[in-house]
Amino acid sequence: MDTREIPRLGGDVESTLKLLADLATEVAALESRAHETVTALQRRPNLQRLPQLLLSLYSGITEALHGVRLTREAIRSYSVDRLRDTHARLSEVSSTTETAAMEMLNGLDRSLAMLDQIESGMGEGAAGLHAQFAGLRAEVNNLYGHLQFQDIISQQLAGVSAMLGEVEGRMQQLADLFDGALAPGAAPRAPAAPAAPAEASFNPDATMQGVAERQAMVDAAFGARNGHGAIAGPLAR
């Protein structure tokens, strides 16, 4: 061996011994910490149950998330779809009643025109028949007032449809909120603000009560505007 390598080897041995000394110091520190941990576990035996508690908590959270998923699917499958179907059915009912009422109004218009033609073709000697025609004409005019039920039904159905549409929107927002919360890696987000409701195109206070009184007020108003007395019969058509 070259004598010149002896100092280098001595330096390597010295460095190795220092590393072993540092390692022994770290092992002693770890031994002290392990001793402290064992002592803490002996003093607090409940800490030994911590892993079991964490596993139980994880299992409970998993079951809760499963329940939330089921709730979301129930909302989407039943509530939203059924509300949408109910909304469509109410719209169909409203359209059907409106069509039927318009046909009845047209029939009453034709009936009045026919009464006028028949009465105009009668002679002056049929005064009793003229009185009967006047009574029949008054009855037909009263039917116009009764046909206001269609407008009342349309107003109320429009109100119910608007309410169902709002509920459907809120249920959809709730389902979307669940979707966002359950998405893997998704950050929590606030639900979108509900859209501003459209301007109401219906009267929520529409009712068939007091029809005669309201019709009398309308007749009086039209009569005063035209410069003569109240006109019998509905003028709202």
The answer to whether position 78 is within a domain reads yes
Global pTM value = 0.37
CB atoms within 10 A of CB 183: 10
pLDDT band at 14 (very low <50, low <70, confident <90, very high): confident
Residues 143, 108 contacting (CB under 8 angstroms) = yes
Report the distance separating Cα 218 and Cα 226, nearest Å.
12
Q: Look at residue 218 in the predicted model and tell me its pLDDT.
A: 54
pLDDT at 201: 57
* Residues 150 and 233 occupy one common structural domain: no
User: How far, in Å, are 8, 114, 154, 206 from residue 158 at the CA level?
Assistant: 99, 36, 6, 11
Inside any domain, residue 175: yes
- pLDDT of 203 reads 57
Query: Are 198 and 233 found together in one domain?
Result: no
| 202, 102: one domain | yes
Instruction: Confirm whether 4 is domain-assigned.
Output: no
One domain, residues 196 and 215: no
Mean pLDDT of 112-133: 74
What's the structural domain count of the chain? 2
Same domain, 127 and 25: yes
Same domain membership, residue 235 and residue 190: no
Are residue 179 and residue 237 in the same domain, yes or no? Answer: no
Look at residue 53 and tell me whether its pLDDT is greater than 50: yes
Do 170 and 147 lie in a common domain? yes
User: How far is residue 233's CA from residue 148's CA, in Å, rounded to a whole number?
Assistant: 13
Q: What is the pLDDT of residues 61-102, one digit of tens each?
A: 777 777 777 776 766 666 666 767 777 777 777 777 778 778
Looking at per-residue confidence, does 227 or 37 come out higher? 37
Q: Are residues 79 and 110 in the same domain?
A: yes
**Domain identity same for 215 and 189:** no
Q: Are residues 218 and 168 in the same domain?
A: no
CB 234 within 8 A of CB 141: yes
In a domain, 38, yes or no: yes
The mean pLDDT value for 97-114 works out to: 82
pLDDT at 196: 46
Residue 6: inside a domain, yes or no? no
What pLDDT score does 137 carry?
Answer: 80
Evaluate whether residue 105 is within a structural domain: yes
In a domain, 46, yes or no: yes
The average pLDDT across 156-162 equals 75
Domain extent for 179: 18-206
Note whether 64 and 96 are same-domain residues: yes
Q: For residue 9, name the pLDDT band (cuts at 50, 70, 90).
A: low
Q: How far is CA 14 from the centre of its chain?
A: 79
Residue 197: predicted pLDDT: 45
Instruction: Note the pLDDT of residue 229.
Output: 47
Mean pLDDT over 120-132 rounds to 70
Band (127; pLDDT cuts 50, 70, 90): low
pLDDT for 199-234, tens place per residue?
Answer: 455 555 555 555 556 556 656 665 565 554 444 444
- Token pair of 48 as six digits: 């030994």
Residue 144 within any structural domain of the chain: yes
CB 149 within 8 A of CB 212: no
Cα gap 233→218, rounded to integer Å = 10
Read off the pLDDT band of 154 (50, 70, 90).
confident
